[in-house]
Structures are given as structure tokens and as C-alpha cells.
Amino acid sequence: MKLIGIDKILGIAVLGSLLAIAGCGPDHHHGGGVVKARPPSKTSPGSGLFAVDCSRNRAYVPLDTLGAGGNGQVSVINLAANPDTTDPRIKVIALTHPDIPSGTALDNDHNLILVVSGGFVDVINESNNTLVAGSPFAIPGGSLVGVFGQILYNPTTKLAILNVVSPTAGFLTFDPVAHTFGTVIPANYAETFSLNSTTNVVMDASDSSPFNTIDAIDIADGRACVLTDTNLTGDQDGSSTDSSTNITIISNEDGTASVLNLNGSAFNPPAVSTTPCTLDETNAPNSVLVSGLPSETAGSAVNGTTHQAFLIEDGNPGVTLIQLPSSPVAGQIVAGDLGTPSISSIPNDPLDNGWATQGDPYAVAIGECNNKGYAIDDTFNFLVQVDLPTLLSTPANISTALPAGKCAGTTSTTFKCDNGAGTKFFPLPGVI
């Protein structure tokens, strides 16, 4: 991560981060066990700066500037549009408070988009792209979500989970329908976090964690525990979890990613609300350190249907696809359980600017039902879509330069939006 001042962490108008998550297990008192597959969530099953609902072909992208009314903004993008012929920008939803959103999640059970910023949660109705009555909902106790504030939706509990930085750092739940909050579970403030939606366990990738450790938050029992693994580095960034295998991948922003096998893991002691506590792997360290990735690889997202992880660089164009195990790994995970990483890069955008993916917050997601990877550039000009089967089979195609022309609805672009080889750009509202 890039170091920032504490004044920015405690500020209200802030940006957040992006990761992907999921997981499985027989009961919430254990981090593993016999896993059970869930149906596709219609989006990368985790939190992030922006949310993708591929069943509706929509992306909800927070903007990095305040609108004309001085309030935060979320742009709605039509992912079904051919951006060379049709302007994909549907609408900009204006919030009612002066905070820049830091995290967005899809609640596909209730067709809602959940947005966190400052000390609030906003709820957007997907059917009409308007704020639901009562938005924004103030987080109790004056809590602020901070620079990396995120929100995740758990389809098992029907509750969202968000993290806060002050006055007490930690995690709490939010009911998207009743609009009520739980109490804060004290924990390190997460740079990113992922969620096992069946066991209700959060894996918190945080620079606050000592080397070779990661926080594991037992949401149901209200406690923060520690997992120790020698393949964990000191700069954990993008955490994502595969729901059907209980595999967590963490990109480390040093050209490596740690793949943790949490199948069969368990909290010790198991008693409710007992701390201090640990989450213990079977055969620890039960992990693989993948190396040789682009040097700034930081954010990650997981497709729980194809069991693939899509990784992006922080401030650079590199992208990677890693094949994870397609079924739970009994015992020790080894390098042979993973596919060879497919590595490529995003080409120059339609304005002919070199691509630099937004980092801190990490802007990466997967559309699980269409098997596309998504990212946003650090100038908030474009949402890019990467065809993941192409990235897997012929990665060099992804970096193919765009043909000359213009994107639909723009006058300033000098290249088209689709390279015809697996990469497509969707202009955001700032592109004229």
C-alpha cells in the first residue's frame, strides 16, 4: 500500500478498497470442514470500490469527485452496451451528503446496491436507480469508514458487513432491509477483507498484522482471532475467498500472492466470544506462495464458479489470472494444485493514456455470471472489462492496442473502446 496521513484516514470524504470473497463450511464455529457450493452471486463475491451486477448488466461505480451539489456520486454503467456504438453511461446517482464513497456491494437477494462513505451507508434500489427512503443511514457511535472502508453482503445471513476505523476500529453488520446495525467487533482496520459467506468468517488483509499473520474475524461470535502462516508477507493487500473450496488468495504488492487452504481449519478455543484466539490450519503452513507476478500486484477478485482469481496491479497495467483448485483440497495444498499464472496488461485507454489501475482503494471485480474481470483507472475515466477466458488462453491478446476512432457519446477520445481481442473500455462521466 501507499502510506497516507492519519488525517486522511480519519477524514470523511475518502476512498475505499476492493477485494473479493466467499467461503464454505458446515458451521460458523469452524473456519473449514466439509464445504458446500453456493449458487453464483451474480458478481465477484466480495466488497470493493465498485459493484458489478452481471445479471442486470450493470456496474455501479463511485466517482472520486463531489457533484454539483457538493455531494458524493455513483455512476451507473450499462455493461450490455457496445461502447463503440452506444454511450453506456445510464445515470449518475447523487448522494445527499458530502462524502466520496469508499466501498460498494451488491445485495442480489433484495436487488440493492450498498454504498459506504464517511459515517454512512446509502442504499440504492436497482429497479429505479434511486436511493431508498431514509438514506443515508448513519453508522452508530459516530463511526467512520475511512480510506479503506468497505462493505460486503453475506447471502447466507442476509446481512452486510462493513469495517470502520474510528472511534473503534473493527467490523459490524448492517441489515439492508431493516437498516439496523450490529455492534463493533474490535479488530485491526482492514486494507481489504474477504468473507466466507457460509462460515461467516472474515479474512482481514491488513498492514497492521505482524509478519506471517492475518486476522480472522469470527463475525457470529464477535471476536477477532489470528491465523499464522509462513507464506504470509508483511504487506497483505487484496484478499479474496472461493466459497466452494475455502481457498483464500492474498496479493502482496511485491510480485507474489499467498494462497491459503482453509478447508478443515478451526478456531481455537472454539468457545463463543473467547479471546485471545487463533484460526488454525490443518498441516500448517497449508499454503502456496505464488511468485513471478507483476511487481505491484495488489488487488484480487475470485470467480467462485470457475475457481479463478483475477489480480490487478496498483497504479500499473498488469493483470493476472490464476486457476485455483476446483474442489476442496483435503490435507496439504501444493503448487501443483494451482494453474500457471496467465499474465498480461491493459492497453492504452481510448484517450491514449497509459493504463494505471486504481489502488488504495483497489478497483477490481469479477462478473461471476459472465466471467469478465473489471477494473477502474486511477483517473476515474474508464471502467475496463477483460474477457477472462481470453486472458487464460491467449493472454497477449488482452494488451492489443485499440483501433483509431471514438467511443460512443464522446468527442475527446481518439481511439475506439473495444480492441476486439478481449478488452473493452466503458467511459465514465468525466470523459467528454
Q: In angstroms, rounded to a whole number, what is the distance separating the alpha carbons of residues 393 and 254?
A: 25
CA 299 to CA 366: how far, in whole Å? 12
Residue of 111, 104, 197 lying closest to 154 (CA atoms): 197
Q: Nearest-CA neighbor of 416 among 405, 408, 426?
A: 405
pLDDT, residue 235, reads: 83
CA–CA distance, 161 with 173 (Å, rounded to integer): 4
The DSSP line for 169-220 is -EEEEE-TTT--B---EE-PPPSEEEEETTTTEEEEE-TTSPTTEEEEEETT
Q: How far apart are CA 298 and CA 104, in angstroms?
A: 18
Instruction: Kindly compute the dihedral angle of the four CA atoms of residues 104, 249, 368, 323, in this order, to the nearest 10 degrees.
Output: 160
Domains of the chain: 7-406 (2.130.10.10)
| pLDDT value for 360 | 81
CA 11, CA 104: separation in Å to the nearest integer?
A: 18
The pLDDT of residue 44: 56
Distance CA 291, CA 259 (A): 11
Alpha-carbon Rg for the chain, nearest whole angstrom, is 20
- Annotate 73-86 with DSSP letters as a single string: EEEEEETTS-TTTS
Q: Distance between alpha carbon 13 and the CA centroid of its chain, in Å?
A: 20
Measured torsion, CA atoms of residues 242, 77, 122, 218, in degrees rounded to the nearest 10: 10
Q: What grid cell was written down for 155?
A: 447471502
Grid coordinates representing 140? 452508530
With beta carbons less than 8 A apart as the criterion, state whether 299 and 362 touch. Answer: yes
* Cα–Cα distance for residue pair 63/310, rounded to 1 Å: 23
Strand 201-205 and strand 213-218: the pairing is antiparallel
**Tens place of pLDDT per residue across the chain (432 aa):** 443 333 333 333 333 333 333 333 333 333 444 334 344 455 555 568 999 998 899 999 999 999 989 999 999 999 999 999 999 999 999 999 999 999 999 998 999 999 999 999 999 999 999 999 999 999 999 999 998 899 999 999 999 999 999 999 999 999 999 999 999 999 999 888 999 888 899 999 887 888 999 999 999 999 999 999 999 987 888 899 988 899 999 999 899 999 999 999 999 999 787 779 999 999 899 999 999 999 999 999 999 899 999 999 999 999 999 999 999 999 999 999 999 999 999 999 999 999 999 988 889 999 988 999 999 999 999 999 999 999 999 999 999 999 999 999 999 999 999 999 999 999 999 999
Strands (E) across 28-158 are located at: 51-53, 58-62, 73-78, 89-94, 103-107, 112-117, 120-125, 130-131, 137-138, 151-154
SS3 assignment, position 336 = helix
Q: What is the pLDDT, as a whole number, of residue 272?
A: 80
Spatial contact of 194 and 248, defined as CB atoms under 8 Å apart: yes
- Burial label, 292 (beta-carbon count in 10 A; 0-12, 13-18, 19+): exposed
The predicted structure's pLDDT at residue 43: 53
Report how far apart the first and last C-alpha atoms of the chain are (Å, whole number).
31
The 10s digit of each residue's pLDDT in 282-315 is 989 999 999 999 999 999 999 989 999 999 999 9
> Around 389, how many Cα atoms within 13 Å sit in the side-chain half-sphere?
4
- Average pLDDT of the chain, as a whole number: 89
Report the alpha-carbon distance of residue 113 to residue 107 in Å, rounded: 6
pLDDT in tens, 131-187: 999 999 999 999 999 988 999 999 999 999 999 999 999 999 999 999 999 999 999
